[in-house]
Structure 1
């Protein structure tokens, strides 16, 4: 049977609302309709296009690839409608971002600023939180896009690789070991060390590397963020082993970074909801980051 070729704006509105909200109840509230009206519109759209747009999994509606592609093609339609009858001071499309301090400070602030200068039609909200809270915030739908350097896999979230890097040793420019091209674990023996707290999985990795090399640094401080560790190293308190991304991009002028000879590797991820597609502004911001994140010798783009 041939599919019908006419278009129905209410069906498209129902699809878009359901894609962005994730449930028929939220979509209904958004459009001021009943849940049954949303369901009827989706069923009619599927029948008219001859495509399955949603699959039910565990009581939730998961959009199919066909639904995602159709929703993207509708972007221009709804932008045109906004221009036709939207008020001049209409609320801009908002992207709610959550990131740990290492990403949020300096790096993310700069990227947000450059993105909004070239995309003034958007609005961004940036929250600073721990990696655990990043995952929880995406799951609770309080944020649209998160960043993390920890592989905290959870049902309902998607981790997309952004950058990879290997461990570096950071120190003040006048530190004796700054003359070395590479720092080995045995070089840290007896040296003052600034370490991340034990709640970080990387702390256990570092302890294992040092133990295998029979290297015993002198622990002088423990901190909860890489930023604090590098800043203490800058003050001459000692050495620290950290993920160079993105700190090296805004600390390389006043701190020396050297490769640390170990198998410690890092990955930085975009965190997005797994049950609904990314918004147009989220896709645009991720594209901006992939294109405009500066190159450095210690990290590589995925």
Structure 2
């Protein structure tokens, strides 16, 4: 038996007519009849009888039709899956990002996309930038976001955002009255700091060293969001990425421009040895849009 015989049989069962089956398949009635005869010979039993001018399937044909129907239902599912993949509505994507992005902002930003694409299966991992580079190079994640560049042949990398760190203060802190905070203003202030190996902490510490200001680290926490929580509760101040702590109202936590501006880049990393899936491409487009409000690359510097 072949697929054309099965199509003729399946369509004839569905329509109850050789003529209608031919119209649906785009072939002549004699062609359908020929396919049914050859299919009956292959099966070794009669498929249809005539009763009052109507084509009636035999009991054996009805038994066979149930299995054939399941087969064609499977092909329809494959067709729908192919269409969903083509339209980038289905797929499995793994993203690895630093905690400052993965903990809250990225999940919030991607929620509308995921709500509209229920057949895209996403895994979001929080990792430090060196580990993210290793995972991308090994092909274990589809999309990596890193604050460190990687120049390796098996990693494709590009900058998708340059952001300026901001100073966060309790709403009742005396410095909260200023719209711009200079590093010199932070001398002797009590800091909520990130771990010593955190890339953003290294960048902030360099800015303090260049101004000759001693930074007083009072509390060390693992995440920028944790730092914002302590600041909102009046424990100290901190310097964090601009996409962190956005959920706190201004009567608890204020965000101020930091001068001199302290910039960090976010690199988009993808495996270089294989083309990205259509679902990954769509997620990359969404991530670009999500980080664009904080991108300082094409904005004029303040005078």
With the length of structure 2 as denominator, give the TM-score of the two structures.
0.63
CA contact (8 A) 1:167 1:262 kept: no
Hey, what does 2:156 align to over in structure 1? Answer: 158
In structure 2, what is the Cα distance between the partners aligned to 1:217 and 1:275? 44
In structure 2, what is the Cα distance between the partners aligned to 1:294 and 1:156? 26
Hey, what does 2:220 align to over in structure 1? Answer: 222
Hey, what does 2:167 align to over in structure 1? Answer: 169
Larger radius of gyration: 2
After superposition, the CA RMSD in angstroms is 2.8
Which 5+ residue runs of structure 2 have no aligned equivalent? Answer: 1-73, 299-303
Distance 1:280 1:273, change over 3 A: same
In structure 2, what is the Cα distance between the partners aligned to 1:209 and 1:88? 55
In structure 1, what is the Cα distance between the partners aligned to 2:215 and 2:225? 20
In structure 2, what is the Cα distance between the partners aligned to 1:286 and 1:252? 30
- The Cα of 1:191 is off from its aligned counterpart by 0.9
- The Cα of 1:145 is off from its aligned counterpart by 0.9
Hey, what does 2:78 align to over in structure 1? Answer: 86
In structure 1, what is the Cα distance between the partners aligned to 2:111 and 2:187? 43
Aligned pair count reads 218
CA contact (8 A) 1:106 1:250 kept: no
Hey, what does 1:197 align to over in structure 2? Answer: 195
- The Cα of 1:135 is off from its aligned counterpart by 1.4
Hey, what does 1:232 align to over in structure 2? Answer: 230
Distance 1:98 1:202, change over 3 A: closer
In structure 2, what is the Cα distance between the partners aligned to 1:133 and 1:274? 17
Distance 1:263 1:291, change over 3 A: closer
Hey, what does 1:127 align to over in structure 2? Answer: 125
Hey, what does 1:269 align to over in structure 2? Answer: 267
Hey, what does 1:247 align to over in structure 2? Answer: 244
Q: Does 1:187 align with 2:185?
A: yes
Tell me the alpha carbon deviations over residues 255-275 of structure 1, each in whole angstroms, 9 at most, x when there is no partner. 211111124211122211112
Which 5+ residue runs of structure 1 have no aligned equivalent? Answer: 1-81
The 5 A counterparts of 1:1-302 are: 84=76, 86=78, 92-244=90-242, 246-247=243-244, 249-251=246-248, 253=250, 254-293=252-291, 295=293, 299-300=295-296
